[in-house]
Amino acid sequence: MEAPSTADEDRDMEEPLLKSSDGKGGLRTLPFIIANVALEKVASQGLTPSMILYLTRVYGMESAAASTVIFLWSAASNFTPIICAFLADSYLGRFPIIAAGSVVSFLGMFVLWLTATIPQARPFCDELSGHCNAPSTPQLLLLYSSYALMAIGSGCLQSSSIAFGADQLLKSSGTLKNYFSLVYMAQSAGVLVGMSCIVYIQDHVGWAMGFGVPVACMLFSSIAFLSASPLYVKSMPSSSLCTGLVQVVVASYKKRRMKVPSTDTYEIYHHNNGSPHLMPSDKLRFLNKACIISNSEEELTSDGRASNPWSLCTVDQVEGLKALIRIVPLWSTGILVAVGVNQSFYVLQLASMDRHLTPTFEVPAGSFGVVLIVSLIIWIILYDRLILPLVSKIRGKQTRLSRKTRMGIGILFCTFSLVATAIVETNRRAMAIKEGFSDDPEAVVSMSAFWTLPRYIFLGMSEGFSAVGQIEFFYFELPRAMSSVATSLFGLGMSVGNLAASFIMTIVDNFSKTGGGESWVSTNINNGHCDYYYWLLFALVFANFLYFLVCSKSYGPSKEEASDESNAEDENNILH
């Protein structure tokens, strides 16, 4: 464990989070923002868990094809935040992006609800035989358009909601330190309600009501957020973030033959007045050429601005691009964690097991993810409210795990979950064959589904360490002007992870069928070998953990760790 740093406060110095002079912002705005975040999660996560059952049973899709559709939908939902983040930080501001995202999400859920309520909007299925006609092109277009709208809306909300809430807080209040855990707990609570209540409605009442409740939640979420519009601090970007980053690349290329002076002084670099960066860092020194003033008369105007920003950039621009480049390797370590977490085959496994909690009550297969959320919430509460205060009291100073350390522990817990999943699947498949269900993919074996609980507990611990650690790491390592981008990078990793999961499943499906054998990820999971598939994922995620260790070492000290070292030196100087 390491002492907490003052990096958070140092970062706040770059662009203050103070309440505006007209009295806007502050804690009073957080209930509306957090309600919007939580209700969106209730709605979206209430749709996701059972979607593979909707596609296979209502639309008659094969499980592999349905999984691919869900992977692509999830990938789009996690990729659009980065696009929306650049729009928010460069052109539109965060409030318009969140408002648009709320409305578009509502429209997407409304269209999905129509597919469940209008018989002509979905393929005909014979309830007696279970046979479904193949969906027509218009029916698929309607279904996919709902996914597209929900992906765009969710992307807008994920990209800006967290950063927008941080904009409302007073820098001196100290609330920002616990803000990210608070928001993640609110999101988790929303997921908890969605995975339990809404999935239960879908399973016991029907798809029309099960899809209608998320529509109502999203409508209320939008109204709640927009109703507090007069209270918000609505900052607008002063320049285009994307353009600024490109300018650094162009300026560096133009000055590629320039020699960087061996002795640096801040006078040779172009920087904004009041900037915390007077000189560029030694990392990625070739980019420093972009902010070197080679001829002040030609490159600067009378008021000290760059006459051509494509030839001369500020130190802030250079450091922003450097920060973004440096975190890419560490960001990439979250991709395979997303592969391990977002497996729709988990639901198919549960659907084939005994899910009775009592003789009369059966837990829906899609609701088992609730255990993940509960373990995540419990861990965050224990970490923030019990473990840290206790350890800090024992050591006599405030103590916490560094963000990079939490990211690494999260990857390890993901490997534990895959080991547990593979072991349970091996035993479940053996029991299905023993009971004579090898040719019946819809048969329920006598093995209790509650043997899968360790998987969800480990996944919850993985999320509690890795997800919160990543979001905080990106937010505090990147410049203040890139806050929306920073909070969207985690979602982007999830997006790439879903694409990677789809790619891995396709490779496994094609490879395992070589020679006429049964696919490991067959629709009939009793004939397939999902356990082999899970062991393969374990090997990949464990190799990813080793890759994380290399990336963490090569990254060097983060702002948090550098501040810790500085504080330790100051303490030693005082003692001596």
Query: Any alpha helices (H) in 51-93, and if so which ranges?
Result: 51-57, 63-87
Beta bridge mates, 132: 125
**CA dist list (Å): 454 to 158, 191, 373, 414, 567:** 29, 19, 13, 11, 40
Q: State how far Cα 504 lies from the chain centre.
A: 20
Q: State how far Cα 525 lies from the chain centre.
A: 29
Report pLDDT digits (tens) over 42-94.
Answer: 888 888 878 888 888 888 887 778 888 888 888 888 788 888 888 887 788 88
Residue 569's pLDDT is what? 53
Query: How far is it, in rounded angstroms, from Cα 507 to Cα 501?
Result: 10
Query: How far is it, in rounded angstroms, from Cα 118 to Cα 113?
Result: 9
Nearest residue to 212 (alpha-carbon basis) of 117, 105, 77, 99: 117
For the domain covering 327-563, report its CATH number: 1.20.1250.20
3-state secondary structure 382-444: HHHHHHHHHHHHHHCCCCECCHHHHHHHHHHHHHHHHHHHHHHHHHHHHHHHHCCCCCCCCCC
Q: Are 375 and 444 in contact (CB under 8 A)?
A: no
Residue 2's pLDDT is what? 36
Residue 127's pLDDT is what? 60
CA angle in degrees (0–180, nearest 5) for 225-229-233: 110
Both tokens assigned to 209: 């009501």
Residue 408's pLDDT is what? 93
Residue 15's pLDDT is what? 41
Beta bridge mates, 269: 292
**pTM of the complete model:** 0.71
Q: Are 40 and 222 in contact (CB under 8 A)?
A: no
Nearest residue to 242 (alpha-carbon basis) of 91, 76, 77: 91
> Which of the following CATH numbers is that of domain 23-238: 1.20.1250.20, 3.40.50.300, 1.10.730.10, 3.30.390.10?
1.20.1250.20
Residue 1's pLDDT is what? 35
Residue 512's pLDDT is what? 85
| For the chain, domain boundaries | 23-238, 241-313, 327-563
Give me the residues of the chain with pLDDT under 50, please: 1-21, 171-174, 571, 574-576
Same fold for the pair 23-238 and 327-563? yes
Beta bridge mates, 2: 400
19: alpha, beta or left? (left if phi > 0; alpha if psi -120 to 50): beta
Residue 172's pLDDT is what? 37
Spatial CB neighbours of 426, under 8 Å, sequence gap ≥ 6: 531
